[in-house]
Amino acid sequence: MKRGTFFLSGTIILFITLGLQTFADEGMFLPDNIPGDLKGFQLSSEDIYKPGGGGLSDAVIIISGGTGSFVSPNGLVLTNHHVAYGAIQRNSTPEDNFLENGFYAGSYQKELPAPGYNAYITLNFIDITDRVLAAVHDKVSPAERSEAISKIIAQIEKEHENLVEGTVGRVVSMLDGSAYYLFTYMKFKDIRLVYAPPSSIGNYGGDIDNWMWPRHTGDFSFMRVYTGPDGIPAEYSPENIPFNSKTYLTISKQGFERGDFAFLLGYPGMTMRYRTSCSVDWNQNRSLPFRIKIFSNLIDVLEAESKNNAELAIKFSSKIRGLNNALKNNQGMIEGLKKSNLLARKKQMEKEFTRFLNKDRNLKREYGDVLPSMDKLYREHAIGFETDSYLNYLRFASTLSNAITIQKWSEEKEKPDAEREPGYLDFKIPQKRKYMELGFQDYHAPTDAKALKYFLVKMANLPDDQHPEFLRDIIEGRNITDYEKTIGDFIEALYANTGLVKKEECMKMFDLSLAELDALADPFIEFAKKVNAAFKINKKKNDEFNGTITVLRPRYFKALAEWKGGDMYPDANRTIRFTHGTIKGYFPRDGVYYKHITSLRGVIEKNTGEEPFDVPEKLVDLHAKRDFGGYVDKKLRDVPVAFLATTDITGGNSGSPVMNGKGEIIGCAFDSDYESMTSDWQFNDRLTRTISVDSRYILFVLDKFSDAKQLLKELTIK
């Protein structure tokens, strides 16, 4: 891989400010291209990443939807409570509720399986742009281009899956199709829960405090990665052994000062810093408002169903928490986009950009069509937006989602591997099967039916010309006032007469041939066949959009490079990144200043005795007695709980280790502040902050609250 500069089709890309102010702490950098001369950074770039292994990045892993870090040579992983939440929830029962009471294994033998969790270590990454783009040529249609790129990516990923060694490959786009990189990972399939504090610590403040500062949440947990007895990643087995994590991080209890340097390594999900006004407009005025409506209604369905049922409350807790998190994020995103006036600023920048092109005949000829073409593309893509969106959300109903997958797989398996849709190549099928089986742990057919009814009724209330054919078959000839009853009767019959509500029957269907599946005449499968026909039409539309936009955006970046200057870091795409910053507070609004740190005293001050501010009695007693051990901050004269830093993060960074200049863990990142929710679109040094749980609070809770002596002995603490 080329080092030091990011290249685009052989042309050096200069940093593009997009007409916005840029800041010293902005940027999610690939670990082989971290900025130089960082004040307070006492390591070298080689200390962070070495292609052959040995850098600190080897200790930082993808785990489930977040990030984790090895903190012992025995595969012990520090991550967030909310990252481990699914494992805690799926091991909980009304009689033994680990969400409520917390969990500590105390020994390898007592560690609990975390079904559905995988972990990935980045081994290396290389630029494969030439190979990917060689699969397309100028004369193909946009849809053909999109499909060809998807197929070559799937083929490359298939080539780099090595079941013997436990490695997998993942191809990612950099700068919206400007370049393509192959990342190789070691994939671990046996992850276990080691320790989780009770939710009254790990989720203290709940949805009320979520995204807010000041924060008093002990959002941390410990998990462990296991391998087969031979040291190779393997599926869960009692015979498996803890992974020998040769690179692991030290935890510091020395603390820090305001203004100190900090950095983190993690796997941020997605940012859109270089997008045009079309994309901002789409999200601010279409996509985000629609998602908010959907999430709010689904939360209502799940909460109503589980209100007086302890078993369902546990089953649905992870879904409800995830939906609430996304809801608040989307609400804050819209608020922030409007308050910062980003759309208007983008449009103004694009006017200036166009004036620049118009001054040069050659530039105008080469790039003058880019912005108008993007605008036209988005306007065309908006046609049928609500129908397309409801169609995509139908998969929230697990029974229909399974039926869709099974029916599609029965058709795709009849084709040679190379002719299938990329998602149905042989090497991807075991993962589909695994997640389908796992889904039954949280499955409840009556609630699933209500979710499906919600989506179909919403679609039915759209104008007639926006109804997909499968919906017209249900409601045709009916008055709009009868839609809800008609759809309700249809869904009731589906669930009453299908085998898909039973795990065993569902998995049997997954293995049937097309002819065998058709012979069953299962009503849900027959319905899924019609829904898949609608998906096929929708896919063609999306392929047209994606194929066109991945030509236009790289051209746009090249044109901007003619206008601006500097180095360009690629947007986040769930690959490992280095970010740096300073520990400091901020002014959220006029006359208000937020300090950079909170303490245990603040936890006690918020205590109401009721969720989500129900402090455990033992924690209250420890504070009253000032039984703090060696975890006191000298200036606070108290145990520190959470702190702020200007490090640049987004979703996926949850659980990232926050380190001092020596590479020692001083905290575990778990959130951003509400005022910086638009950081996916823009970084603002005045407002953008990472919220992390202080390593001293982690150690204090382990030691004084949970008496987790064995776990503490395993850690390296300085």
User: Residue 574's Cα: distance from chain center in Å?
Assistant: 8
Backbone angles phi, psi at 87, to 5 degrees: -70, -40
CB atoms within 10 A of CB 214: 19
In a 13 Å sphere around the CA of 553, the CA atoms on its Cβ side amount to: 25
Phi/psi zone of residue 85: left (φ > 0), alpha (ψ -120 to 50 degrees), beta? alpha
Q: At what angle do helices 370-381 and 342-358 cross, to 10 degrees?
A: 140
Pairing of strands 119-127, 179-188: antiparallel
| Separation CA 13–CA 253 (nearest Å) | 42
Pairing of strands 190-196, 103-104: antiparallel
| Separation CA 294–CA 440 (nearest Å) | 23
Q: Coil, helix or strand for 125? A: strand
Task: Report yes or no: 126 and 147 within 8 Å, Cβ to Cβ.
Answer: no
Contacts of 617 (CB under 8 A, 6+ apart): none
Task: Report yes or no: 32 and 221 within 8 Å, Cβ to Cβ.
Answer: no
Which run of H or E residues covers position 202?
helix 199-202
Query: Alpha helices of 498-522 — where are they, by DSSP H?
Result: 503-510, 514-520
| Separation CA 522–CA 74 (nearest Å) | 49
Task: Report yes or no: 547 and 144 within 8 Å, Cβ to Cβ.
Answer: yes
Token output for 471: 């919906």
Helix count (H) and strand count (E) of the chain?
26, 22
Backbone angles phi, psi at 585, to 5 degrees: -85, -160
- Active-site positions read 82, 219, 654
Token output for 333: 């995103």
Task: Report yes or no: 500 and 522 within 8 Å, Cβ to Cβ.
Answer: yes
CB atoms within 10 A of CB 703: 17
Strand-by-strand arrangement of the 597-599 sheet: 577-582, 261-266, 657-659, 665-672, 690-694, 640-645, 597-599
| Separation CA 630–CA 671 (nearest Å) | 26
Quick one: CA dihedral 473, 475, 478, 480, positive or negative? negative
Which DSSP state fits 403? H
| Separation CA 313–CA 307 (nearest Å) | 7
